[in-house]
Amino acid sequence: MWVYEKRLQCPVNIKETNAKLAQAIISQYGGPDGEMGASMRYLSQRYSMPYKECMATLNDIGTEELGHLEIVGTIIYQLTKNLSMEEIKASGFDKYYIDHTTGIWPQAAGGVPFNACEFQSKGDPLTDLYEDLAAEQKARSTYDNILRLCKDYPDVYEPIKFLRAREIVHFQRFGESIRLILDKLDSKNFYAFNPAFDKAAPCLDKNCKMN
Amino acid sequence: MNKMNKNELFDYLNEVSFMLDDITLYLNTHPDCPDGIDAYNHYKKLREKALNDYTCNYGPISRYDVDVNNYWDWVNKPWPWEGECGC
């Protein structure tokens, strides 16, 4: 269950529209390394995660990513609010406008729609967490690319800088999650079994009679 | 603490809430860290007070905290994507 709070994790107040910038930033809404994929990845992976610290990490980072999706959606909404037909034509926003007017729809900067194939939920804790590390770095690179485009727009630059910093914190937490898992596995062969699936995996409850 | 106006209190609420967002992620992978636990308890109190002050003075942040008499005011309060002017 989620409880909505009428506030953004990081405030967004954009005073000038810029449809060209919006078309680039929309990739972090529904693109290959965007916030929709991030939230769906972690919130999907959490079910099969057998370690309690890592389950909490996936749940809570996945929840924060929903908040980031909202921040990116807000940036795009405010950048495209009250556009004139002249601005729509001159900025190249006309292709998006034909299908969505100025509604917010998850797509990549190049127009490719959001697709669940942009993330995995493998049902193997180490596999999933290594994907999560890569995902945070890919999102960080995308935010770096966006920052180079919006240097002269502080209203956009500041929330993007915030989102980029969060990728680095999440990367750190997923790294710690992997370390916690490795400590519980056989150091001679970390891949001897899949702790989320194989019966050979010891129960994590210290008092469990099955061990 | 000096009396904050509406915008200052809202910014402050976001700041202390963010501290909790960050500290709770840290605690998930360091659940027995005493400094982390102290920081959590500290900011939890600040957020509870800020959230309560904001809700009492300027209206609900959550739909579980609506003070409803003859009109469902939740629909009137601006949404976060609307930006500063809320128009």
Domain parsing of chain A, residue ranges: 19-184
Average pLDDT, integer, range A89-114: 97
Q: In terms of Cα–Cα distance, which of B70, B52, B69 is closest to B61?
A: B52
pLDDT at position B3: 85
Residues in A touching B81 (Cβ below 8 Å): 8, 12, 70, 73-74, 77-78
**pLDDT band with cut points at 50, 70 and 90 for residue A197:** very high
Say how many CB pairs under 8 Å bridge A and B. Answer: 70
Residues in A touching B75 (Cβ below 8 Å): none
Q: Is A192 on the interface with B (CB under 8 A)?
A: no
Residues in A touching B31 (Cβ below 8 Å): 53
Q: What percent of chain A has pLDDT over 90?
A: 91
**pLDDT band with cut points at 50, 70 and 90 for residue B87:** very low
Query: Of B25, B32, B82, which to mutate for an interface test with A (greatest number of A Cβ within 10 Å)?
Result: B25
**pLDDT band with cut points at 50, 70 and 90 for residue A210:** low
Q: Tell me what ipTM this predicted complex has.
A: 0.94
Report the gap between the CA of B79 and the closest CA in chain A (Å).
6
Write out pLDDT tens, residues A41-54: 999 999 999 999 99
Q: Which residue is associated with the tokens 């905290």?
A: B65
**pLDDT score of A209 more than 90:** no
**pLDDT band with cut points at 50, 70 and 90 for residue B36:** very high
* Cα A30 from Cα A166, distance rounded (Å): 18
The one-letter amino acid code at A38 reads: A
Domain A19-184: which topology? Answer: Ferritin (1.20.1260)
Contacts with B4 (C-beta within 8 Å, 6 or more apart), sequence order: B12
Whether pTM > 0.90 for this model: the answer is yes
Helix (H, G, I), strand (E, B) or coil at A113: strand
Residue A176: which of B24, B29, B80 has the nearest Cβ?
B29
Report the gap between the CA of B61 and the closest CA in chain A (Å).
5
Are A173 and B29 in contact (CB < 8 Å)? yes
Report the gap between the CA of A166 and the closest CA in chain B (Å).
9
> How would DSSP label each residue in A87-129?
HHHHHTTHHHHHHHTT----B-TTSPBP-GGGS---S-HHHHH
* Cα A202 from Cα A211, distance rounded (Å): 6
pLDDT at position A200: 64
Q: Convert B57-75 to b/e letters by CB count within 10 Å (16 or more is b).
A: eebbbeeeeeeeeeeeeee
Query: Of A5, A61, A178, which to mutate for an interface test with B (greatest number of B Cβ within 10 Å)?
Result: A5
**pLDDT score of A174 more than 70:** yes
**pLDDT score of B85 more than 80:** no
Average pLDDT, integer, range A30-57: 98
Write out pLDDT tens, residues B43-79: 999 999 999 999 999 999 999 999 998 899 999 889 9
Number of H helices, E strands in chain A: 8, 0
* Cα A74 from Cα A29, distance rounded (Å): 10
Are A7 and B10 in contact (CB < 8 Å)? yes
Residues in B touching A5 (Cβ below 8 Å): 17, 61-62
Closest residue of A to B13, CA-based? A7
| Backbone φ and ψ of A113, nearest 5° | -65, 155
Q: What is the DSSP letter of B4?
A: P
